[in-house]
Amino acid sequence: MRRRSDRVPPHRPSAVARRNLALWERIAREYEVRNARALRRADGAAWGVWRIPERQLRLLDDVRGRDVLELGCGSAGWSIALARRGARVVGLDFSPSRLAQARQRMRRAGVEFPLVEASAEGIPYPKARFDLVLSDYGATTFADPNRVVPEVARVLRPQGVFVFAHASPFRTVAQDLRADRLGRRLIHDYFRTRVIRDLSDPSVEFQLPYGEWVELFVACGLAIERLVEPRAAANARSSYVSTADARWARHWPSEMIWKVRKLPAPAPRKIGR
């Protein structure tokens, strides 16, 4: 029987989630085809636009027997890789088309785990359900961090870990949205960096200044363990970015990967003597 605290109220996706869902439904096929090689790098266990293998970055603890949630799993490359390592995985994405791709990849890989169609703004699981939540440019990029990070903190067990790859604030302030390229000037107001609109599309991405990321983690009871700022290798190529942007990323971090850990619940305070 479900305890009262286990009940999760049904969630209505925000207007932003509905707009971004329309984008992902439209581009799901093209995205999967264009990035097919990148998505299979290191058998799916690779981070960010440079696809740096997890075995090199070592961000994850041992996942054997752990409950893992991938937020915005897309075709579930990460989830498949972690299931193969013995994790009990759930892949969550709001896009039916992307989940269909995940099902296909799972069949090919001979791996089974639940796939959940939901928005990360309201994770349909009770509190303290997972040991690890990860997102590789997944829902944390496309949903407001002020809604997603508290949700992640809620579903994590004490000592559980949240690892996610995201564009860096450097990239955000230097991105010329009209020309769709990164430049050497700071174009956008760093302090007003919140919602990034692609000018050719009604979809949006999110960003926070570094200090606000830190404040948000602290407010949610998440302690920072690592902030990795991958540098593009010389002559790096990526199906996600142009060659010019790859050159830019030799000099400034184009992305960041946070690892934060949920603090244990404070011991109950004794009242009186």
Which residue's Cβ has the minimum distance to ligand SAM?
74
Using CB under 6 A, list all residues that contact ligand SAM.
Answer: 17, 20, 24, 39, 72, 74-75, 93-95, 98, 119-121, 136-139, 142-143
Q: At what angle do helices 96-109 and 77-84 cross, to 10 degrees?
A: 30
Q: Which residue has the tokens 């050159």?
A: 247
- Would you say how long the chain is, in residues? 273
Nearer to ligand SAM, 119 or 172 (CB): 119
Tokens of 78: 């990460």
Q: What's the CA gap between 253 and 168, in Å, rounded?
A: 7
Contact residues for 24 (Cβ-Cβ < 8 A; gap 6+): 94, 95, 97, 98, 142
Nearer to ligand SAM, 143 or 260 (CB): 143
Nearer to ligand SAM, 116 or 263 (CB): 116
Q: If we measure between CA atoms, which residue out of 80, 95, 76, 87 comes closest to residue 28? A: 95
In whole angstroms, the minimum distance from the beta carbon of 37 to ligand SAM comes to 12
In whole angstroms, the minimum distance from the beta carbon of 77 to ligand SAM comes to 6
Nearer to ligand SAM, 166 or 261 (CB): 166
How many distinct helices (H) and strands (E) make up the chain?
10, 13
At residue 182, the 3 state secondary structure works out as strand
In whole angstroms, the minimum distance from the beta carbon of 76 to ligand SAM comes to 8
Nearer to ligand SAM, 67 or 121 (CB): 121
Nearer to ligand SAM, 26 or 187 (CB): 26
In whole angstroms, the minimum distance from the beta carbon of 123 to ligand SAM comes to 9
CA quadruple 14, 196, 218, 63: dihedral, nearest 10 = 80
Burial of 17 by CB count in 10 Å (0-12 exposed, 13-18 middle, 19+ buried)? buried
In whole angstroms, the minimum distance from the beta carbon of 21 to ligand SAM comes to 7
In whole angstroms, the minimum distance from the beta carbon of 27 to ligand SAM comes to 9
